[in-house]
């Protein structure tokens, strides 16, 4: 039985988990892959006493892995953009397959990397980059292969989902963020997680694999959860909705929607029940309908599970004697369609609007008339005398689906009203039908 030899770059959380799982389940993994999968070299700058490398050679220079003629598969787990890019391109140039957990790298440099890999005839896989241990890239690129995927929506950042779950108990954002940092769920600088950048990386990748379009991270719309209040979360609940931080991609006539933002989802939908640090991705195909993939989106061994699944995929393909089997984005390069991401103003959504208005007769009529002038239909409206505060009363409106542009114009006019002296709160809503 031939063996497939792996070189691991980076021995942090995921790198350590990958090394350990490969060692612990070596026999079982060999049984599945049809050959042994052996770690033959490691490069790391973060030395870990808790990992026993045995007599496996290691160094602090990642290029030692890339240049080692014994290595068949380079596993890139160092993160970041530029060094990772150089590492991966060098590995490809040396004819090595690449497995990465680096969503930022793929979302930003994926087009260039896949082109180089296609030329060199090597695999580059990235399951671990999206939704951690959940095999959702496999589901999209292979399991959904019969379908025209119409849209997908995912809870793809565990930190954000943990914070929103806690905020449902009435706790403010800053307090929960602090707690998440203390628990190690959130980084010292939480921007990537709470402002949606991390989710936008993952969404960009899933969208391209779903629709067969080039990676366009710089065109993704990103809005975080830091300005959400327990007040709006509670009122969304009263309307039958739950607020989740979703990445949403949708195929539209002439382009695709690509957006990360807080979103009202029906409480009755399964995705509303996904709480805490867990992830879930909902994928809608024209043949299958809605499917959902749920599990841990982070963690050392959960992410390692996806890294190793990719390694086994590569090993099985090598064993079978074939070339790279599944195209990088799930579509043959010549089948990639040059569809652009639509500007945010042209996306479509329903909206939760909270208008802080003076408690005077006639205000509601003015609000309704502005919405109507912009073609915005109201699904629900909520205004409670008991909530008058400082002479102001919140008017909460849930609209039908409409173009973002129309809502922008309406909000501008609403904010210009004498009776409205605060910003209108706007949270998008999806009904998944």
Which alpha helices (DSSP H) does 255-362 contain, by range?
Answer: 300-320
Are 77 and 18 contacting, i.e. CB atoms less than 8 angstroms apart? yes
Is 12 annotated among the ligand-binding residues? yes
DSSP annotation string for 122-161: --EE-GGGSSTTS-HHHIIIIITTTS-EEEEEEE--HHHH
Residues contacting 93, CB < 8 A, separation 6+: 116, 120
Q: With respect to its own copies, which residue has the nearer C-beta, 138 or 259? A: 138
Torsions phi, psi of 417, nearest 5?
Answer: -65, 145
Q: Which one of residues 54, 69, 321, 361 is an interface residue with its own copies (CB under 8 A)?
A: 321
Which residues between 51 and 110 bind its own copies (CB under 8 A)?
Answer: none
Question: Given the rule CB under 8 A, which of 198-206, 248-256, 332-340, 381-389 is the region that contacts its own copies?
Answer: 332-340
DSSP β-bridge partners for residue 246: 261
Q: Which tokens go with 380?
A: 């629900």
Q: How far apart are CA 76 and CA 95, in angstroms?
A: 15
Q: With respect to its own copies, which residue has the nearer C-beta, 315 or 411? A: 315
Which residues between 221 and 260 bind its own copies (CB under 8 A)?
Answer: none
Q: Which one of residues 23, 63, 270, 358 is an interface residue with its own copies (CB under 8 A)?
A: 270
Residue 329 C-beta: closest distance to its own copies, Å? 10
Answer yes or no whether residue 293 interacts with its own copies by CB under 8 A. Answer: yes
Is 255 annotated among the ligand-binding residues? no
Q: Is 244 a catalytic residue?
A: no
Is 98 annotated among the ligand-binding residues? no
Q: What's the longest Cα–Cα distance across the chain?
A: 83
Instruction: Please tell me the count of residues contacting its own copies according to CB under 8 A.
Output: 69
Question: Given the rule CB under 8 A, which of 27-35, 91-99, 174-182, 186-194 is the region that contacts its own copies?
Answer: 27-35
Q: Which one of residues 10, 16, 160, 212 is an interface residue with its own copies (CB under 8 A)?
A: 212
Answer yes or no whether residue 291 interacts with its own copies by CB under 8 A. Answer: yes
DSSP state of 219: G
Is 297 annotated among the ligand-binding residues? no
Residues contacting 321, CB < 8 A, separation 6+: none
Name the catalytic one among 202, 244, 366, 384. Answer: 202
Q: With respect to its own copies, which residue has the nearer C-beta, 135 or 196? A: 135
Which alpha helices (DSSP H) does 268-422 contain, by range?
Answer: 300-320, 363-373, 404-416
**CA angle, 122 then 126 then 129, to 5°:** 160
Answer yes or no whether residue 288 interacts with its own copies by CB under 8 A. Answer: yes
Locate tokens 């769920």: which residue? Answer: 185
Which residues between 124 and 153 bind its own copies (CB under 8 A)?
Answer: 127, 133-135, 138-139, 141-148
The whole-angstrom distance between residue 11's C-alpha and the CA centroid of its chain comes to: 23
Residue 427 C-beta: closest distance to its own copies, Å? 23
Are 35 and 319 contacting, i.e. CB atoms less than 8 angstroms apart? yes
- Of 267, 427, 432, 272, nearest in space to 352 by CA: 427
Q: With respect to its own copies, which residue has the nearer C-beta, 101 or 397? A: 101
Catalytic residues: 202
Rule CB under 8 A: which residues touch its own copies? 17, 21-22, 24-25, 28-34, 127, 133-135, 138-139, 141-148, 212, 270, 273-274, 285-296, 299, 301-302, 304-309, 312-313, 316-317, 319-327, 330-332, 334-335
Give binding residues for NADPH as ranges.
103
């Amino acid at each position: 039985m031939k063996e497939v030899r792996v070189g691991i770059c980076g021995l942090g959380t995921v790198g350590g988990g990958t090394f350990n799982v490969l060692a612990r389940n070596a026999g079982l993994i060999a049984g599945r892959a049809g050959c042994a999968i052996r770690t033959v070299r490691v490069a790391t700058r973060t030395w870990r006493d808790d990992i026993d490398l045995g007599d496996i050679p290691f160094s602090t220079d990642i290029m030692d892995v890339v240049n080692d003629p014994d290595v068949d598969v380079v596993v890139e787990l160092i993160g970041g953009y530029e060094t990772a890019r150089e590492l991966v391109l060098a590995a490809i140039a040396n004819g090595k397959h690449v497995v990465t957990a680096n969503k930022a790298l793929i979302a930003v440099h994926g087009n260039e990397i896949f082109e180089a890999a296609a030329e060199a005839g090597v695999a580059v896989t990235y399951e671990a980059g999206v939704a951690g241990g959940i095999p959702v890239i496999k589901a999209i690129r292979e399991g959904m292969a019969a379908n025209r995927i119409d849209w997908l929506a995912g809870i793809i950042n565990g930190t954000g989902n943990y914070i929103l779950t806690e905020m449902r108990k009435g706790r403010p954002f800053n307090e929960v963020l602090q707690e998440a940092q203390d628990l190690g769920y959130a980084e010292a600088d939480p921007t990537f997680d709470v402002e949606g950048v991390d989710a936008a990386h993952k969404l960009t990748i899933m969208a391209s694999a779903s629709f067969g379009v080039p990676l366009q991270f710089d065109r993704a719309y990103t809005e975080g959860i830091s300005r959400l209040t327990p007040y709006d979360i509670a009122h969304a609940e009263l309307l039958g909705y739950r607020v989740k931080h979703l990445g949403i991609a949708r195929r539209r006539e002439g382009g695709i929607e690509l957006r990360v933002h807080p979103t009202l989802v029906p409480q009755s939908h399964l995705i509303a029940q996904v709480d805490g640090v867990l992830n879930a991705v909902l994928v809608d195909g024209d043949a299958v309908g809605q499917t959902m993939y749920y599990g841990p989106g982070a963690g050392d061994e959960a992410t390692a599970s996806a890294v190793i699944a990719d390694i086994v995929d590569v090993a099985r393909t090598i064993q079978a004697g074939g070339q790279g089997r599944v195209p990088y984005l799930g579509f043959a390069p010549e089948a990639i369609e040059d569809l652009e991401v639509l500007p945010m103003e042209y996306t479509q959504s329903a909206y939760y609007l909270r208008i802080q208005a003076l408690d005077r007769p006639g205000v509601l009529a003015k609000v309704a008339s502005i919405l109507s002038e912009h073609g915005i239909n109201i699904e629900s409206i909520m205004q409670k005398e008991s909530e008058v505060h400082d002479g102001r009363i919140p008017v909460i409106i849930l609209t039908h689906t409409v173009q973002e542009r129309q809502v922008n114009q309406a909000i501008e006019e609403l904010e210009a009203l004498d009776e409205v002296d605060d910003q209108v709160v706007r949270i998008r809503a999806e009904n998944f039908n």
